[in-house]
Chains A and B, each alone.
Chain A
Amino acid sequence: MRSVPALGVPVGTLRVLPVRAWNIRALVAGPALLVGPLLLFMAAFYGYPVLAMLARSVTDPHPTLANFAQLAGDGVFLHVFGNTLRTALVVTIGTLLLGYPVALALSRMRPTAATITLTLVLLPFWTSVLVRSYAWMVLLGRRGLINEALRALDIIQTPLKLLNTSFAVDIAMVHILLPYMILPIASVMRQIDPSLPRAAAGMGATPWGAFRQVILPLSMPGALAGTLLVFVLSLGFYITPALVGGPRDLMLSQLIAQQVDLLNWPYAACLSVTLLGATLVLLAATQVLPGVRGAFRLGSR
């Protein structure tokens, strides 16, 4: 250990100097100077722009809530909103059904196998959404891999219309969001004491019984965290539905972009407030539900 030459004592044993008034001021001023530049930057180029845009929903043409009242009777909005909720629900159920078994298997693998599996889960996770959506365009197209394979096997004569349907959106989004389901569940499962299912087996539980009565309940916080995360992320999807979806089944984000193209800012802002509100309410739920917070913290590591 290094020591302070003048005093001849180890550094760690130095007493903290008494705090004086100017010390306290420096204590607050220092950090503020460090955080300040970023806060100002984000306020100018992100906070203000987004808030100014959202404000158009209640200030146009004069302070009013009429824009929101109109949404309730707006057939286009209700159709798009319903389609967005339906897509988010289907995608969430799909990722849960496919992701839970992977997380379960992952928790029981040896380190090497687990690393390989995790890499396979994370590789698409870090491939851009655009590239993965393009891959699904290639797979589902009229002359895509699936249609060609079905034709080669003589199952169909004329190509199926798979691309530009809500089915295409569902399957591509399940593919893109699967890692967000697998990771929180896997991180909760890793924490389950392995002696618990063994104890259940020792007391006569069948493997299925041990799973249903021990693993399943203990992994619920992870499943809940993944479910909420996937649902929230689904609500805001834009690129994938725009590329592989049909023109009739718009999602909320697409309708917002369309309204901006038409320079209909008050309507676009109203839709944005709705989308943002739904996102924040669902995320607030994750902070309240027991156990879910921990799953998120681990999942983000």
Chain B
Amino acid sequence: MKNRPPLLLLTSLVLLFLALPIVLIVTVSFSSAVYLTFPPPAFGLRWYRAYLGSADWLASTWLSLAVAAATVALATILGTLAALGLTRLPRAVRTAAAALILSPLIVPGIVVAIGIYYAFSRWGLIGSPVGLVLAHTCLAVPFVVTSVSASLANFDRRLEQAARSLGATPWGAFRQVTLPLIRPGVLVGALFAFITSFDELIVALFLSGSGAVTLPRRMWDDLRFAIDPTIAAVSTLTIVFTALLLGGAHVLRQRTAR
């Protein structure tokens, strides 16, 4: 069936509505003006220079990258092991375990954040990158488990049994047979874990304190005082960065599908 002009027009308008704010942010980031004015009087890299010249912004960027990297390591290892184990558990146990593991996708962000704040403040984990990594790992792990489980669904377990019967140790069979076959799923899960931590704000609002101010947290603090186009430059960089990671995930997924 063909799309009729009215439907196509409406669809285009909605797509424009979806794209406009993002296009706008990118445009503003290249503005030369001190204030947000439209259209920008001239274009330049002024706000990118402001970002690169600010020790605070750079410190937050490095912190966010480090927290995300540590989160990826923890979430990928714990999540991949769990996904491997989940398929072999009896059905009832599996359902219960999956409910806990996947629940951060469902429980409202503010409830998770204040719960973690409630416990972590007693444990002295406020204002520490460690606290952020522990919390972010819990939020990121569902993506690893779902992604690895999906690639395990296409995995023939007899291959692993065959390796074992040929004399491979359990670890050898995993490393030489299972892991190469589920690697794309593991990598996609790791990428989503990275993005989850890198973009995370609500938990960071409560855990950052003054000692561990992540990039989203610094953007939030700045937004509450002044809308400086530096934020547009930072936003543009994170949009490009995320798009690159997602492009990578997409390529990996297509490889998994084959």
Cβ contact of A207, chosen from B4, B115, B231, cutoff 8 A: B4
Q: How far is the CA of A182 from the CA of B109 in the complex (A)?
A: 23
Residue from A14, A41, A235, A300 with most neighbouring chain B CB atoms (10 Å)? A41
Q: Assess whether B104 is interfacial by the CB under 8 Å rule.
A: yes
Contact A120 B18, beta carbon cutoff 8 Å: yes
Shortest Cβ distance from residue A240 to the other chain B in the assembled complex, whole angstroms: 11
Stretch in B52-60, B181-189, B219-227 with 4+ CB within 8 Å of A:
B219-227
Shortest Cβ distance from residue B101 to the other chain A in the assembled complex, whole angstroms: 6
Cβ contact of A123, chosen from B19, B28, B106, cutoff 8 A: B19
Shortest Cβ distance from residue A204 to the other chain B in the assembled complex, whole angstroms: 16
Q: Assess whether A52 is interfacial by the CB under 8 Å rule.
A: yes
Known: A135-B24, A143-B35, A178-B18. Contact between A38 and B117, CB under 8 A? no
Residue from A31, A37, A38 with most neighbouring chain B CB atoms (10 Å)? A38
Cβ contact of A138, chosen from B28, B199, B216, cutoff 8 A: B28
Please provide the chain B residues from 10 to 47 with a CB less than 8 Å away from any CB of chain A in the complex.
10-11, 14-15, 17-22, 24-25, 28, 35-38
Contact A124 B114, beta carbon cutoff 8 Å: no
Q: How far is the CA of A123 from the CA of B14 in the complex (A)?
A: 14
Q: Assess whether B252 is interfacial by the CB under 8 Å rule.
A: no
List the A side residues contacting B243 at CB < 8 Å: 123, 126
Q: How far is the CA of A11 from the CA of B11 in the complex (A)?
A: 54
Cβ contact of A52, chosen from B84, B118, B238, cutoff 8 A: B118
Q: Assess whether B168 is interfacial by the CB under 8 Å rule.
A: no
Q: How far is the CA of A129 from the CA of B246 in the complex (A)?
A: 16
Q: How far is the CA of A101 from the CA of B3 in the complex (A)?
A: 10
Contact A175 B115, beta carbon cutoff 8 Å: no
List the A side residues contacting B120 at CB < 8 Å: 49
Contact A109 B89, beta carbon cutoff 8 Å: no
Contact string against B for A residues 249-262, beta-carbon threshold 8 Å, 1 for contact and 0 otherwise: 00001001100100
List the B side residues contacting A105 at CB < 8 Å: 3, 7-8, 10-11
Those 3 A-B pairs whose CB atoms lie nearest each other, nearest first: A34-B85, A236-B108, A50-B115
A197 to B, closest residue via Cβ: B1
Please provide the chain B residues from 42 to 98 with a CB less than 8 Å away from any CB of chain A in the complex.
74, 78-79, 81-82, 84-90, 97
Please provide the chain A residues from 253 to 277 with a CB less than 8 Å away from any CB of chain B in the complex.
253, 256-257, 260, 265, 268, 272, 275-276
B residues contacting A by CB (< 8 A) are 1-4, 7-8, 10-11, 14-15, 17-22, 24-25, 28, 35-38, 74, 78-79, 81-82, 84-90, 97, 100-101, 104, 106-112, 114-120, 134-135, 137-138, 141, 145-146, 158, 162, 165-166, 195, 199, 201-202, 205-206, 216, 219-220, 223, 227, 231-232, 235, 238-239, 242-243, 246
Q: How far is the CA of A227 from the CA of B166 in the complex (A)?
A: 53
Q: How far is the CA of A31 from the CA of B91 in the complex (A)?
A: 12
Contact B202 A239, beta carbon cutoff 8 Å: yes
Contact A31 B88, beta carbon cutoff 8 Å: yes
Q: Assess whether A153 is interfacial by the CB under 8 Å rule.
A: no
Q: Assess whether A68 is interfacial by the CB under 8 Å rule.
A: no
B249 to A, closest residue via Cβ: A126
Residue from B7, B18, B24 with most neighbouring chain A CB atoms (10 Å)? B18
Shortest Cβ distance from residue A91 to the other chain B in the assembled complex, whole angstroms: 14
Contact A102 B14, beta carbon cutoff 8 Å: yes
Cβ contact of B37, chosen from A47, A143, A283, cutoff 8 A: A143
Contact B202 A238, beta carbon cutoff 8 Å: yes
